[in-house]
């Protein structure tokens, strides 16, 4: 049985005609930048999350940089960020003038903890970036309480996830989302958002995303040209009502893996305490992960190792790594493997994946 790592097509089929109509409506109206679709999506997305403000930006990386700038992060500051994450989580820091300082993770949850963050703090630490990796939900509120520092919750992979009943993206002082086409809630291109409950932070984000101006006349700061466009916002608005059902489908797929006995042959991802993950990726750990991937590929089952080389070991980050020793990160980097996951992954597919892993004998 051939099983893809993602299925981004099937969930969209019932919506495709309405999405195409929304795109045509935008084209006919002729408003393309910061028009009614962006304003509508910002209102809808904030309401969906239970947040006061959502501000659309061009992509998830810009969302992080702008969020940090809005918090006042700048030259001479340091920002604690996990190394086991997509490169953009750290890449977003140097454009503010600050330095990323890498912290470790719990390899069971793949998320930072208060202890791993505290170990990386210095007198120059201005903020902490937590990452809701793979759709899990990091303990951002506990980290903010433990450190007394502003927290940026990178929720790029966690749309639809919850913790203690609240939505991912509502646990930091500010949160960021990516709507890259493979994400839980996805554009047909690039897109992102900054989410916050703070009125002043939201206003500063809006100003920074538009060249540092509130009125296109007076420019108060050196900002960015980083705006979610009308077509992508229209596409997102049509998909947003389906997000909860898609998240439930991802959770069901994770349960199918567990019921099929996956824990007998690999280490399952562990939800952070109180979290109900919307698994963007279902990432197991296995002591022979690369050998297992090769066997599964021969059986038509797609897998992927995402962060074999963690961020602090990337060439561009050598100047910031400072010889960091991150044992949890190294373990996760060596042993992780993403197996098929989507809102429509069925029980039969999950059982086939587990049977193939069991039969691999590596």
| Contact between 99 and 320 (Cβ < 8 Å) | yes
Q: How far apart are CA 34 and CA 178, in angstroms?
A: 18
Cα dihedral: 162, 89, 338, 236 (round 10):
60
Residue range 254-307, pLDDT digits in tens? 999 999 999 999 999 999 999 999 999 999 999 999 999 999 999 999 999 999
Q: What is the spatial distance between Cα 67 and Cα 341, in angstroms, rounded to a whole number?
A: 30
pLDDT, one tens digit per residue, over 163-206 is 999 999 999 999 999 999 999 999 999 999 999 999 999 999 99
Please name the residue ranges forming H helices in 156-242.
Answer: 199-209, 230-239
For domain 243-360, the CATH architecture is Alpha-Beta Complex (3.90)
- Return the number of other C-beta atoms located less than 10 Å from residue 234's C-beta: 24
If pLDDT is split at 50, 70 and 90, which confidence band does 1 have? Answer: confident
Is domain 10-241 given the CATH code 3.40.640.10 in the classification?
yes
Q: Please name the residue ranges forming H helices in the chain.
A: 16-29, 36-49, 60-70, 88-91, 114-118, 140-147, 199-209, 230-239, 243-259, 289-298, 318-321, 327-335, 347-360
Domain range list for the chain:
10-241, 243-360
Report the Cα 290 to chain-centroid distance in Å: 24
pLDDT per residue as tens digits for the range 216-235: 999 999 999 999 999 999 99
Please tell me the pTM assigned to this model. 0.97
């Amino acid at each position: 049985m051939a099983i893809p790592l993602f299925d981004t097509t099937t969930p969209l089929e019932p919506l495709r005609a309405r999405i195409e109509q929304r795109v045509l409506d935008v084209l006919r109206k002729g408003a393309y930048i910061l028009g009614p679709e962006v304003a509508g999506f910002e209102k809808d997305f904030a309401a969906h999350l239970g947040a006061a403000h959502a501000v659309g930006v061009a992509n998830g990386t810009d969302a992080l940089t702008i969020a940090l700038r809005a918090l006042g992060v700048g030259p001479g500051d340091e920002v604690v960020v996990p190394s086991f994450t997509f490169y953009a989580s750290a890449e977003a820091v140097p454009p503010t003038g600050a330095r990323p300082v890498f912290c470790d993770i719990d390899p069971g949850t793949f998320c930072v903890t208060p202890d791993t963050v505290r170990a990386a703090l210095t007198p120059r630490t201005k903020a902490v970036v937590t990452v809701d990796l793979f759709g899990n939900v990091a303990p951002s509120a506990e980290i903010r309480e433990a450190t007394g520092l502003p927290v940026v919750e990178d929720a790029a992979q966690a749309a639809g996830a919850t913790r203690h009943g609240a939505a991912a993206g509502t646990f930091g002082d500010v949160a960021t989302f990516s709507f890259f086409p493979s994400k839980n809630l996805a554009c047909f291109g690039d897109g992102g958002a900054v989410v916050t409950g703070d009125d002043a932070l939201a206003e500063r984000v809006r100003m920074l995303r538009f060249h540092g101006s509130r009125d296109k006349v007076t420019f108060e700061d050196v900002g960015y040209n980083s705006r979610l466009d009308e077509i992508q916002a229209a596409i997102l608005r049509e998909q947003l009502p389906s997000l909860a059902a898609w998240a439930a489908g991802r959770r069901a797929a994770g349960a199918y893996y567990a019921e099929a006995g996956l824990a007998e042959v690999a280490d399952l991802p562990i939800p952070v305490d109180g979290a109900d993950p919307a698994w963007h990726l279902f990432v197991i750990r296995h002591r022979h992960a690369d050998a297992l991937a090769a066997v599964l590929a021969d059986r038509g089952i797609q897998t992927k190792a995402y962060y074999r080389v963690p961020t602090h070991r990337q060439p561009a980050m050598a100047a910031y790594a400072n010889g960091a020793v991150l044992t949890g990160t190294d373990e996760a980097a060596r042993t992780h493997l993403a197996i098929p996951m989507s809102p429509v992954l069925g029980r039969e597919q999950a059982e086939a994946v587990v049977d193939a892993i069991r039969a691999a004998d590596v």
